[in-house]
Amino acid sequence: MGDLQRVHVHVGPPKSGSTFLQSVLFANRAALRTAGVVVPGPDWPTHRRACVQLMRRAAGVPARLPAGAPPRDRWDRLVREVHDSGAHTGVLSAEQLSVAAPHSVAAVVESFTPAEVHVIYAARDLAAVVPADWQTRLRNRVAPTWREFCASVREPRGRRSLGGVFWDHQDPAAVLPRWLRHVPHDRVHVLTVPRAGADPALLWRRFCAASGLEADSYSLDVPRNNISLGGVEAEVLRRLTARVAGRLPVPVYTDLVKFFVVREVLERREQSFRLVLPEAEHAWLDPRAEQAIRYLREAEFAVEGDLDELTPVHRPSTRAPDDVSEAEVAALLEEVLALTVLETARRQGGSKWTGARSVDPQEGTSDE
Amino acid sequence: MSELEQVHVHIGPLKTGTTYVQQMLVGNQRVLDEQGATFYGADFKEHATAVKHLMGRRRRRDGVASSDTDQWTALVDEARASGARTAMVSMEYLCTADSSAVQRLVSSVAPARVRIVFTARDYSRLIPAAWQTALRNQHAPTWQEFIDSIRDPEGEDGVWGRRFWRQQDPRQVLAPYLEHLQPDQITVVTMPPSADPPDLLWRRFCAATGLTAEPFDLGAVRRSNPSLGGVEAEVLRRINLEVAGRVPGAVYTDLVKVFVAREVLERRPQSFRLGLAEDEYDWLDERARDQQAYIAAAGFDVVGDLAELVPLRRPAERRPDSATEPEVAAVLTEVLGATLREVARRQSLQRWDGARSVQEPLPEPAALGLSGRPPRPGERLRGRVQFRTERG
């Protein structure tokens, strides 16, 4: 058993293949351990929560705990697991870390001292990121229309606006300088996300090259979650989210909308049409993308892949996300509603609801 | 103690205020008692079961009718034992009774005399109500299909029309009754237009059955069957296209008929009123004249006014099938949102921790313990549904 030498911190950002990379890391935990690499936390949600907790703590956000509950120590447990593992390398991965403020960065670095903390940033063509990020908002209880989202990304009104949040995690010139406050330049690694349609193994190989792992030793046979929604599917989700997000507790929203409606219904159908950035939006996006590429190029980080892959691809968009017809929306809503009725029946085990009712069912005979 | 002298049998038909009359009877048993009348059953369900038994529609188990409890006989026995002179029966399915059921009715209560109450209503009000009833019971005809069928019941697509007229045309409804009863044993009560005071129907019913209306508590009526608006009806129709046949009947009743239709669709502000278009009144007037002429000539007692059966021209501002896709989409979103909240409520806000199937294709309904096959896209269900009013 050796001492911990380095910890690779993969900071996303969102929509740059992080779910896939995390699935591979957690599916191969045992094999990685054999190779002297530890991915701490029993599963990724725990792992992610620990990272988020660190950021909250570093920012001085008080934890909302019941009176008398012991203070949360998820991050400390994660760190302890890395130190106690005997592994020479630790890997953390949470796209939430892309918005880590310098004091959070300092806390991460300090937690693993004297081991070296390395940062991995996955950069992707922003023309692909914008529609994907819109969908992520829709899955997370915010319901801007496509136009509203685009307008805000084009001209953010404040740091907390949709566009402000977008650039806070998607602009490498915003993310990386925060890490560079406490991490030396030569420990920042950039990898580029391959173009759509490329073998997913390529992204993994680049991740391994950046983190010194042996790419071919691990299985890539992981479920593909978080599949991109088609245009009509996204619009249906938007309307549903607008209606229920504020009226359901978060875990219930997660269960019913994010998991049931999105994953089990919307993601499974054949995409109505692929969401792509409409040509008109390239006029403002392309210069922003060029700025980001220039930043990465001039900073001379170690790059796995090719910064040219970040040049926005113009895809012919047959339809804009806002152009879905009401008839298409209605047809899909019918489908979702029907499956929700079936799901309700399934959850009740096919039995009839016998709980409180606001209307007297007066079941049976009187009007058939 | 008196002998049972007469049995007033209110035979509906459907959508003629029967729920109202029945709730008045169920909720005023003491008043009935004071007036020497009795109404069978602690709740309406028992009463309905008794009538089903009379009509020979026993629930069959393993292919054998369960004959151990004949609720109709129990109803008659209880009426005789009650000491009341008059027994009241009210069940709208009796409008489709056949001759043998009527014969059983007459002989089972003899020597007490049977008196029939038929509540007649303006056809132009009945047709949209009948369409909604179909939609609330898993069927999915469009308004146009439905109205065409009413207009041409003998045609190939006339199944809805045949059903409607079999239930509503007094000539067809009363024919089996007249095989065993004299015309003066039948009273036609006309249903007042909706603008009249709500208790007018009850007063007429009392006049027809010899009850004194005043002591009855009108508060016994808990709910009427509110009408769906045009967009709401279209939304229900589309849900039926997707759901009917894929869930057991009890689940459909619970989730669609009660939850979606009553708790969500009925409660929202009606999008627009369902009513006939101007040109549809033209052919309907002829049917209504025939209805009036038949009743006037048959020698029945009439309570109310046959003029109330003339279709009241109140053309709708929109055709029932004119719901637009944006309107439908908006209401569907509302229903879906309400359904998700209902699921959350039923789970008492607990997170569902049962098996998830994200990685597998959605199981077939049968594999979920749900019966039936899914309808094919766009399939109308009417083709494979047996109507109770059809013989055999």
Label residue A103 by pLDDT band (50, 70, 90).
very high
- Which of B247, B250, B347 is facing A341, going by the closest CB pair? B247
The residue whose two tokens read 């008492």 is B348
- β-sheet bridge partners, residue B86: B6, B37
**pLDDT exceeds 90 at position B376:** no
Q: Which of B22, B337, B359 sits opposite A244 (nearest CB)?
A: B337
**Closest Cα in chain B, distance from residue A190 (Å):** 32
- B127 has a pLDDT exceeding 80: yes
**pLDDT value, residue B367:** 41
- The rounded percent of chain A whose pLDDT value lies above 70 is 93
Burial (CB < 10 A; 0-12, 13-18, 19+), residue B54, is: buried
Q: What 8-state DSSP symbol labels residue A99?
A: G
What are the structure tokens assigned to B329, written together? Answer: 């989409």
Rounded mean pLDDT, B209-223? 88
Q: Is residue A104, in this structure, part of any structural domain at all? A: yes
Q: Is the pLDDT of residue A356 over 70?
A: no
Mean pLDDT across B151-176: 95
CB atoms within 10 A of CB B15: 24
- In CATH terms, is domain B6-123+165-225+278-309 a member of 3.30.70? no
Residue B246 confidence (pLDDT): 82
Calculate the CA B49 to chain-centre distance: 15
- Burial class from Cβ neighbours inside 10 Å (0-12, 13-18, 19+) for residue A309 reads middle
| Residue given tokens 């989700």 in the structure block | A237
Q: Is A322 on the interface with B (CB under 8 A)?
A: no
pTM: 0.80
Alpha helices in chain B (DSSP H): 18-27, 29-34, 44-54, 71-82, 99-109, 123-135, 143-151, 159-168, 170-178, 200-209, 230-243, 249-252, 278-298, 325-346
Q: CA-CA distance, B276 to B150, in Å (whole number)?
A: 12
Chain A and chain B share a number of CB contacts under 8 A equal to: 173
With vertex at residue B14, the alpha carbon angle to CA B9 and CA B17, rounded to the nearest 5 degrees, is 80
Interface predicted TM-score (ipTM) of this complex, two decimals:
0.76
Q: Which of residues 203-242 of A touch B (CB under 8 A)?
A: 223, 225, 239-240
**Inter-chain residue contact A329 with B339, CB threshold 8 Å:** no
Q: How many other C-beta atoms lie within 10 A of the C-beta of residue A68?
A: 5
Decide if pLDDT at B354 tops 60.
Answer: no
**CATH number for the domain harbouring residue A48:** 3.40.50.300
* Range scoring the smallest mean pLDDT among B85-94, B111-120, B339-348: B339-348
pLDDT tops 60 at residue B368 = no
- How far off is chain A from B258, nearest CA to CA, in Å? 6
**Is 90 exceeded by the pLDDT of residue A60?**
no
What are the structure tokens assigned to A273, written together? 């049409």
pLDDT exceeds 60 at position B352: no
A chain contacts of residue B44, beta-carbon cutoff 8 Å: 362, 365-366
Shortest CB distance from B19 goes to which of A247, A327, A366? A366
Q: How confident is the model at residue B392 (pLDDT cuts 50, 70, 90)?
A: very low
In this prediction, residue B95 has a pLDDT band, given cuts at 50, 70 and 90, of very high
Predicted pLDDT of residue A319? 84
Which regions of chain B carry the CATH code 3.40.50?
6-123+165-225+278-309
Residues of B in contact with A248 (CB under 8 A): 340-341, 344
Q: H or E element: which one contains A75?
A: helix A74-84
Task: Tell me what the mean pLDDT of segment A35-63 comes to.
Answer: 91
Is the pLDDT score of B378 beyond 80? no
Has residue A213 got a pLDDT over 80?
yes
Q: Are B335 and A337 inside 8 Å of each other by CB?
A: yes
Q: Which residue has the higher pLDDT, A251 or A76?
A: A76
Q: How far is CA A268 from the centre of its chain?
A: 19
Mean pLDDT of A158-169: 93
Task: Provide CB contacts within 8 A for A349, sequence distance 6+.
Answer: B369
The pLDDT mean for chain B works out to: 85
- Residues 6 or more apart whose CB falls under 8 angstroms from that of B42 comprise none
Whether A300 maps to a domain, the answer reads yes
Max avg pLDDT among A41-50, A184-193, B351-360: A184-193
Task: Enumerate long-range contacts of A203-210, CB under 8 Å, 24 or more apart.
Answer: A203/A17, A203/A20, A203/A21, A203/A122, A204/A20, A204/A21, A204/A24, A206/A304, A206/A305, A207/A10, A207/A21, A207/A120, A207/A122, A207/A304, A209/A304, A210/A8, A210/A120, A210/A302, A210/A304
Provide the domain count of chain A: 1
Residue A350: the pLDDT is 52
- Per the omega criterion (within 30 degrees of 0), is the bond before A13 cis? yes
Q: What's CA A87's distance to the chain center, in Å?
A: 27
Say which amino acid occupies B61. R
- Alpha-carbon torsion (B38, B40, B45, B51), positive or negative: negative
Residue B332 has pLDDT above 90, yes or no: yes
Residue A180 within a domain:
yes
pLDDT at B223: 62
Structure tokens at A87: 């592994």
Q: State the pLDDT at residue A368.
A: 39
Residue A37: half-sphere exposure toward Cβ, Cα within 13 Å: 22
Residue A22 belongs to what domain range? 6-62+72-126+159-226+284-310
- Angle of helix B123-135 relative to helix B230-243, nearest 10 degrees? 40
The rounded distance, in Å, linking the Cα atoms of A268 and B91 is 48
List pLDDT tens digits, range B266-317. 999 999 999 898 888 999 999 999 999 999 999 999 999 999 999 998 877 8
* Of residues B242, B262, B344, nearest to A252 (C-beta): B344
Contacts of B49 by beta carbon, 8 Å cutoff, 6+ apart: B71
Determine the length of chain A.
368
- Averaged pLDDT for residues B336-342: 91
CB contact under 8 A, A225 and B358: yes
Band (A66; pLDDT cuts 50, 70, 90)? confident
Structure token pair of residue B370: 């749900």
Query: Which of A206-220, B188-202, B345-359 shows the lowest per-residue confidence on average (mean pLDDT)?
Result: B345-359
Residue B386 has a pLDDT of 24
pLDDT of residue A351: 56
Q: If you measure CA to CA, which chain B residue comes closest to A327?
A: B325
Residue at token pair 């027994």: B87
Helix axes of B325-346 and B230-243: crossing angle, nearest 10 degrees: 60
d(CA B388, CA A367): 13
Q: For A72-91, what is each residue's pLDDT tens digit?
A: 789 999 999 999 999 999 99
Which of B365, B385, B87, B263 lies closest to A353 in space, CA to CA?
A: B263
Identify the pLDDT of residue B355: 43
pLDDT on residue A225: 66
Average pLDDT, whole number, for chain A?
Answer: 90
pLDDT of residue B391: 30
A360 CB neighbours in chain B (<8 A) are 222-223
pLDDT tens for each residue of A170-203: 999 999 999 999 999 999 999 999 998 889 899 9
Count Cβ atoms below 10 Å from residue A277 Cβ, excluding itself. Answer: 25
Residues of A in contact with B346 (CB under 8 A): 344, 347-348, 353, 355
Measured CA distances, B245 to B232, B242, B379 (Å): 21, 9, 11
Contact B328 A330 (CB under 8 A): yes
Cα A226 to Cα B389: distance, rounded to the nearest angstrom: 51
